[in-house]
Amino acid sequence: MSTTLERPAVSTPRKVAPAKDSRTLIRGQARAGWLLLSPALLHSGVFIVIPVIAVLVLSLTDYSFGDSWAWVGFGNYADLFRDVDFQASLWNTVLYALVVIPVSMAIALAVAVGLNQKIKALGFFRTAFYIPTVTATVAIATVWLWIYNPGSGLANGFLSLFGFAPTQWLSDPATALPSLMVIGVWQGLGTKIIIYLAALQGVSRDLLESAEIDGASRWQKFANVTWPALGPVQFFVLITSIVGTFQVFDLVYVMTQGGPGTETRVLVLDIYQNAFTDLKLGYASAETVIMMIVIAAFIGVGRLLQRADAND
């Protein structure tokens, strides 16, 4: 009997694409990426970059609508810091932000933690908290004008049950700005709650279960597992809150017009009146630049706090 030995199959090595083809592929992908980004870049250039450059240039002039203009350099900025209305607006806006941002973030996180539990009518509560965010500010202001009405408003009616005297909420210099802060906190809760709720649902269940097995209490699990995991989300909510509070305008415009006196006058309202009432566009542009610098400073401080919290 003869045995036929079969030759083992020899695998043919795959051809390796030359480096030139790899570079061509990378360049093609880069071109495709820039092509897909081009609509967003065009939008940003037209509606962000060009207006910012225009504001910076106009802030150095005394330009007014339809009139001749002259180069004044930093004269507008020097005048701003001698302007009593601007000083009041800047202080009120900073104070509004310092109160509304941390209070709204704390309440939103607490509500999100509660909504993250298995409770009845969860969908109803989520919707109820989010409705103020999508409701027109003019409608919200109208409702709160009734609530703060000194004669027949709900606020004074509720306090009268406990023997408190009626309060002139929006006419009293001591309560006008705090009354607007209450509305600002309430109106901004919805978006923050949704963001926090999504972040809470993304916290690792394995880490939470491990902490529970180790005997950690609810507070210890929150402080050592949940809170560190929320770091990036906290920073995002902080940045959006800073930008939102510094842009408050329609609420103040409808409810108080900046009064009584200058007690509720904020930066955007002051910019609006300088630009469109007094027609001092160069002066208003300088005020806008100051506002952008203040916002950048707040964001920088928030970034430092976020880094310090991450390093702890």
* Residue with more model confidence, 207 or 309: 207
Q: Residue 26: how many CA atoms within 13 Å on its side-chain side? A: 6
Domain boundary among 8, 31, 58: 58
Are 96 and 222 in a shared domain? yes
Residue 158 lies in a domain: yes
Are 296 and 160 in a shared domain? yes
* DSSP string over 82-138: T-HHHHHHHHHHHHHHHHHHHHHHHHHHHHHHHHTS--TTHHHHHHHHHHHHHS-HH
Are 52 and 198 in a shared domain? no
Are 286 and 153 in a shared domain? yes
Helices (H), the chain: 19-44, 50-58, 75-80, 84-115, 122-134, 137-147, 154-160, 176-187, 189-201, 205-213, 218-221, 227-229, 231-246, 250-255, 267-272, 281-311
Query: The pTM is what?
Result: 0.86
Return all residues near 301 (Cβ < 8 A) that are at least 6 apart.
none
Are 179 and 294 in a shared domain? yes
Task: Report yes or no: 288 and 59 within 8 Å, Cβ to Cβ.
Answer: yes
Residue 118 lies in a domain: yes
Most confident residue range from 8-12, 103-107, 301-305: 103-107
The count of structural domains within the chain is: 2
Are 27 and 117 in a shared domain? no
Q: Residue 61 phi/psi, 5° resolution?
A: -130, 170
Are 289 and 182 in a shared domain? yes
With a cut of 90, say whether residue 132 has pLDDT above it.
no
Residue 250 lies in a domain: yes
pLDDT given at position 83: 94
DSSP 203: S
Are 222 and 296 in a shared domain? yes
Residue 209 lies in a domain: yes
With a cut of 90, say whether residue 147 has pLDDT above it.
yes
Are 266 and 156 in a shared domain? yes
* Residue with more model confidence, 309 or 198: 198
> What does the pLDDT look like over 111-131, one tens digit per residue?
999 888 877 777 788 888 888
**Residue 203 belongs to domain spanning:** 75-311
Are 107 and 236 in a shared domain? yes
Residue 63 lies in a domain: no
pLDDT given at position 152: 84
pLDDT given at position 1: 45
- Mean pLDDT for the stretch of residues 284-295: 95
What is the average pLDDT score of the chain?
88
Encoded tokens for 105:
């973030």
Are 152 and 243 in a shared domain? yes
Residue 232 lies in a domain: yes
Confidence category of residue 285, pLDDT binned at 50, 70, 90: very high
Residues linked to residue 61 through DSSP beta bridges, in sequence order: 71
Amino acid at 230: L
Cβ atoms within 10 Å, residue 163: 6
> What does the pLDDT look like over 19-56, one tens digit per residue?
667 788 888 888 998 999 999 999 988 999 999 999 99
Residue 83 lies in a domain: yes
Are 37 and 176 in a shared domain? no
In whole angstroms, what separates CA 293 from the centre of its chain? Answer: 16
Residue 284 lies in a domain: yes
pLDDT given at position 164: 87
Return all residues near 278 (Cβ < 8 A) that are at least 6 apart.
none
> What does the pLDDT look like over 58-110, one tens digit per residue?
999 999 877 678 999 999 999 999 999 999 999 999 999 999 999 999 999 99
In CATH, what number is assigned to the domain containing residue 222? 1.10.3720.10
Domain boundary among 10, 28, 58: 58
